[in-house]
Amino acid sequence: MLYEPFEQKEFTEYKVYKTEFAGRPFVVETGKMCCLSNGSCMVRYGDTAVLCNVTMSDHPRDGIDFFPLSVDFEEKLYSVGRIPGSFMRREGRPGEKAVLTSRVVDRPIRPLFPKDMRNDVSVVMTVMSVDQDCSPEIAGMIGTSIALSISDIPWSGPIAGAFMGLVDGQLVVNPTEEQRKKSDLALTVAASQEKIVMIEAGANEVDEITMLDAIKTAHTEIKKMIAFINGIVAEIGKPKIDFQSMELDHDLFEAVKEQYLDDFKAAMDTDDKNVRDAALAPIRDRLSAQYAEQWGDGIIETLMYKMQKFVVRRWLLDDGKRVDGRGINQIRPLAAEVSLLPRAHGSGMFTRGQTQVLTVATLSNSRDAQILDGIDNEETKRYMHHYNFPPYSVGEARGLRSPGRREIGHGALAERALLPVLPSEEEFPYAMRLVSEVLSSNGSTSQASICGSTLALMDAGVPIKAPVAGISCGLITEGERWMTMVDIQGVEDFHGDMDFKVGGTKNGITAIQMDIKIDGLTYEIIEDAFAKCKIAREHIIDEVILKAIPAVRSELSKYAPKMQTLRIPVDKISEVIGKGGKVIQKICADCSAKIDIEEDGHIFICAVAKEDLDRAVSIIRTIVEDPEIGAIYKGRVTRLMNFGAFVEIAPGKEGLVHISHLDAKRVEKVEDVVAVGDELLVKVIKIDGQGRIDLSRKEALADLAARQQQNG
């Protein structure tokens, strides 16, 4: 025999669990795929399918003082029947949407792992099929929660997530693709059975009451999903394994606290990050000399972190005192400037305490919109916001790196905050790129970049509907006690329990991003944070942004391209393009312009000089519209005859200027007045039944002289 007999593989542990989520079938399969993962499941939501796997290393990673969790959301283009557009024709580095989804899943699950665990944990969500009506992001989040819950990895879940829309004034759970297109809200909520653990939102100036109602509605649906997950765990969940705890020795911490507490308080009692760091350095040296030999160098940074955290939290909870001496609801000193860069199309710098962001706006034609190659149906993006966080912004001496997940996430948050106030492409036919350069960072740079973006857009002359500002709210908890504080600086963010970022106009919220380090928030905390952020952002808009630039510039920068949109009949498109593109190429060359024509007849014309733009528009209108008797055109002489000159007033359209109409005085020879290639102002004086056009230079000059005399 060429082969040994084989047995048919049976998947004895294969299980299928079914429920409904927002009225659509939700199916979980386990026990057939990925048998070597600590936990695995295939989640099917409608026709969307996401394979979720979680794994953990056997031993803790040496030499680290943090929990090493990695979360990856893999967008496979076969999931939408598409071949990647790259040269290699395979998926490359994750796109921005995949990175953002990874962050959305990371944020709710991370606080639920043991804080003293140092084993590597990896989460991989592979999108294998996409139904545009059933979000793969939500399926991936729930699938990750299921995989972790049924695995042996220590984790205090489950959580679940839901996507909320606001369609025609009605809240909709997990809206379809068509509903999302007209929704005023794009809200992702993750929650446990009792508390909210993550919020990510973009909104069309939605008020705080509606936003809180949407969060509560999402939580109601999430609780049903958590009950479903708990049923799965009860049947096939594995016992959680023991792990090697890396918790700081309690007796050591108490000894350091007794000896050094007053030193830490004295060092940290300042509003200047540089002064604080300089004052803490000698304490670090003393701790190292006293404990490093016995406990190792790694323990010193842990001691420094724990002591600073203890001081910050005790000041806030016991004394109502902030590190920099501010009131609980007091914003740091603010400043705003515009037009800092003369050749940029728009620029604005926003400063809040020691946080400072310079945002620069660049305008271009629609051809420069970003081309997207993802698993949804969005193909281009005309508004782009990029956020850069150089090492000098935090006083670090290291080389520059490409943008990481944090930079991508902060840029997307600022982009989302400004999108609702941007003019439509019909109103303002530009592609827009904003770049926020973080010049100095001491907390809430993403919110400073929102303010800087508003300044830069207004300075660039982009007719935004309303100015947008961003602010963050922090939280400290201890048992049932909690308190929030507005405008947290770096040390409060680092040692606090929440960074609740809210961007919006005076009319409502446009973006939210919530990061927490605890097991969740109550509705009361969220409502309190909304109220404080609303007061703060209205103050920033009125007292800072609008005092720096009271209104959008009435004109674009002279260095910005000028654009105009035309709509022509579809059957005239070929005339504008010409045979082999000759007509449109000639217009572009003669007018130093860029022209894009869409299939529906929309034409986008772009030129740096206003005169070139007007000329290109005039030529196109002349091509697609019949010449009007009495209208004046600028044409080019194409040929000379004894009886006059033929002048082309638009590609393919020419008329005759009879010798008697070449000049106000008598003309003996045509060559005495004009030559081939000359540009002339001519007036249409007659169009005969066969469409032949008679032109007059004499009458055009007379009309021009009369206008000049009338205008003084």
**Token representation of residue 544:** 């800072």
Distance CA 481, CA 497 (A): 12
pLDDT per residue as tens digits for the range 225-281: 999 999 999 999 999 999 999 888 888 999 999 999 999 999 999 988 889 999 999
CA angle centred on 298, ends 295 and 303, rounded to 5°:
80
Crossing angle (nearest 10°) for helices 445-460 and 405-418: 50
Residue 359 confidence (pLDDT): 98
pLDDT per residue as tens digits for the range 51-88: 999 999 999 998 888 999 999 999 999 999 989 887 78
Residue 324 confidence (pLDDT): 87
**Overall average pLDDT of the 624-644 stretch:** 87
pLDDT per residue as tens digits for the range 184-193: 999 999 999 9
Distance CA 147, CA 109 (A): 12
Crossing angle (nearest 10°) for helices 298-314 and 250-268: 60
pLDDT per residue as tens digits for the range 483-519: 999 999 988 998 999 999 999 999 999 999 998 999 9
Sequence-ordered list of residues with C-beta below 8 angstroms from that of 611, at least 6 positions apart, any chain? none
Distance CA 415, CA 436 (A): 11
Yes or no: say if 151 and 243 are a contact pair by the CB < 8 Å rule.
no
pLDDT per residue as tens digits for the range 660-687: 999 988 888 999 899 998 988 999 999 8
Q: Cβ of 541: how many Cβ atoms within 10 Å?
A: 20
Distance CA 381, CA 371 (A): 7
Residue 365 confidence (pLDDT): 83
**Overall average pLDDT of the 161-190 stretch:** 96
**Overall average pLDDT of the 276-287 stretch:** 93
**Overall average pLDDT of the 196-207 stretch:** 97
- Residues 67-77 as b or e (16 or more Cβ within 10 Å = b): bebebbbbbbb
Share in percent of the chain as helix, strand, coil (round to 5): 35, 30, 35
Residue 150 — pLDDT band, cuts 50, 70, 90?
very high
Residue with tokens 């939210």: 512
Nearest CA among 588, 558, 556 for reference residue 432: 556
Q: Which one has a higher pLDDT value, 503 or 604? A: 503
Distance CA 173, CA 167 (A): 10
Q: How far is CA 648 from CA 263, 635, 678, in A?
A: 86, 5, 11
Distance CA 491, CA 641 (A): 84
Sequence-ordered list of residues with C-beta below 8 angstroms from that of 437, at least 6 positions apart, any chain? 357, 358, 359, 360, 388, 390
Residue 615 confidence (pLDDT): 86
DSSP 548-567: H-SS--SS--TTSPEEEEEE
Residue 712 confidence (pLDDT): 61
CA angle centred on 323, ends 321 and 326, rounded to 5°:
65
Residue 370 confidence (pLDDT): 82
3-state SS, residue 627: coil
Three-state SS annotation for 3-29? CCCCCCCCCCCCEEEEEEECCEEEEEE
**Token representation of residue 175:** 């809206």
Residue 6 confidence (pLDDT): 73
Residue 302 confidence (pLDDT): 87
**Rounded to 5 degrees, what are φ and ψ at 285?**
-65, -40
pLDDT per residue as tens digits for the range 17-55: 999 999 999 999 999 999 999 999 999 999 999 999 999
Is residue 426's pLDDT more than 90?
Answer: no
Residue 651 — pLDDT band, cuts 50, 70, 90?
confident
Across the chain, mean pLDDT equals 92
Residue 91 confidence (pLDDT): 87
Nearest CA among 215, 303, 322, 296 for reference residue 253: 303
Is residue 1's pLDDT more than 60?
Answer: no
Residue 3 — pLDDT band, cuts 50, 70, 90?
low
The H or E element spanning position 361 is: strand 355-364
Residue with tokens 């055009």: 700
Return the C-alpha torsion angle 521, 522, 524, 530, nearest 10.
Answer: 40
Distance CA 477, CA 485 (A): 12
Distance CA 431, CA 402 (A): 24
Q: What is the share, in percent, of the chain residues with pLDDT greater than 70?
A: 99
β-strands 196-206, 185-191 pairing: antiparallel
Residue 640 confidence (pLDDT): 92
Q: How many residues in the chain?
A: 712
Is residue 2's pLDDT more than 80?
Answer: no
Sequence-ordered list of residues with C-beta below 8 angstroms from that of 60, at least 6 positions apart, any chain? 117, 118, 119, 243, 244, 246
DSSP 8-class letter at 401: -
Nearest CA among 108, 163, 112 for reference residue 136: 163
DSSP 63-131: T-SS--EEEEEEE-GGGGT----STT-S--SPPHHHHHHHHHHHHHHGGGS-TT--EEEEEEEEEEE-B
The H or E element spanning position 263 is: helix 250-268
- Residues 433-450 as b or e (16 or more Cβ within 10 Å = b): bbbbbbbbbbbbbbbbbb
CA 396 to chain centre: 26
**Overall average pLDDT of the 102-130 stretch:** 96
The answer for 519, left when phi > 0, alpha when psi is -120 to 50, beta otherwise, is alpha
